[in-house]
Structure 1
C-alpha cells in the first residue's frame, strides 16, 4: 500500500470514528480551530492563558457542555486545554500547519462534519414524532416490551461511615426527598441523579444490596446496609415482574428513537435521490454508478 493510500485509509477510518462520536467530533474539530484563536480581555473573563492564547469562561462552559463534563470538573478541562494548547503551539512552531497532507485531512474532516450537520438539519425539519404514533407503536408491539427478569427501580445512597448513612435515613424518614439527600450526602456514582439507579436486576448490583432490595415492598426504604464499599441506603420505587409489559412511560424514549431511525433512513435516501436528479454527476470508473443502494448498511448518525 502506498503512503498516500495508507494515509487516506487512516483518515477515513478516523472520520468514521468521529462521526460515530459526534460530541467528540465537535470538541476535537473546534479545539483544532479555536485553540489558536487569540481573545483579548474584552472577550470575557479569562480562565487560563498559554502564551497569547486565552481560554475564556464562556468558551470553557461551551467546551464542557460538548464533552459532557460537570461543573466540578472545570479543573480537568482547563488542564486538558492547557496541554492541548502547549502541543498546538509547538506544532505551529515546527510549521506543521503548513503541511499539505494535514490541510487535506482537515478538509476531509470539515466536509464530513458539514454533511453531518446538513442531515441533522434536514431530519429536524422533516421528522416529527407524535404522541399518537408512539402509542400506536406501543400497542402494536407489546411483545417487544415484555419483562424478561424481575427488576426494581431503585434509589441508592452510599456513604463512607455509618453515622452519615444514619443521618441520611433520618432525614428521609422525616420527610425530606430522597433525591435531595442523595445529592448532598452520597458519594456513589448516581449522586448527581439523586441516587436514581433506574431499573436493576438481581445480578446488576452487589449481593448485599440485591438481597435487601428485592425483599422490600414498593416505596420502602432499607435500613443501613454495610458492604466493602461503605454504608448504603436503598429504596424500592417500583417493581416489575418477569412477563409483565413495561409501561409506556418507561419505553417512550426507546419508541421515539426507533421511529426516528426508520424515518431518518427514508429521509436520507429521499434527499440523495433529489440531489442526484438536480446535479450533473459523472463517473469515470467503468462499472461504477450512482444508483442508490438502499440495501447497504445504514446508520442515521453515520450514513457514509
Structure 2
C-alpha cells in the first residue's frame, strides 16, 4: 500500500477545511468504523496528491488517494476521541485554514473567473501598442580565417560571383550549406562588430571590407530589413492573462483595505507592511 507523509498532511488540511454533504448522488466508496468516505472526498484527495503521485496511472492514483483518506479518518477519529479538536492551538489553526480557503474562494470568483477573454485581448493590444519598434536584419555571411581570404572573396563578388555559391565554397561557418543564411535577427543577437556593420548596410549590399570579430573575418550581405513583429497572441495569452489577474486582484485588495481599517500595533511590523504595500 502506498504511503506518503506529505499526502497525509495535504489530505488532513483539505478534508478538514471543507465539509462534505452526504448527497444521494455522492456515493460511499469506503467505510472507516461508523464513518463513510464519499466519492467527493476521494476526488478531493486525488486532486491534492503529491505531484510525484500525480504521475501514477489512474487506478494507482485512486488507491494512493483512498489510502491517504483512510489514514486521515483513522487518526482524525483518534484525535477527536482524545479531545484534540478542542485544543486552542488547533482551533486557531483551523480558523486560519478556513480564512485562507475563503480567501481562495473569493479570489477564484472575483479574480480568476472574472477575467474575460475580451479583457485579455485588450491588454495584449495595449502592451503591443506600447512596445518600441525594433528593426530586424536578414543577413548572410561568409566566415574565413584570414583577412586576405576575405578580401579575395570580396573581389570575386565585385566581379559578379554569386554570394550563396561563394559561401558554400569558402565559409567555415556550419551554415555554409544554407549559403551563410542567418535569417532575421535584432540588435543584441550578434557580436557587436558584426551587428554594427549589418545594421549600417542597405538591403541588397555586401560589405566592401572584411568585418573582423572574435570568430574570424566576415563578408556580410544584407538581404532585407523589417520592423520586428510583436509576439503572437496565442504565444503570450497566458502571461497576459496573469497580468490582468494581478491587476484585478490588486483592485480587489485596495477596495477591501479602503472598506476596513487596518491597524498594526508593532512599529517595526507596521513600517515593514507599509513598505511592502508601496511596492509595485
Q: Give the TM-score of the pair, scaled to structure 2.
A: 0.47
Q: Give the TM-score of the pair, scaled to structure 1.
A: 0.44
Larger Rg: 2
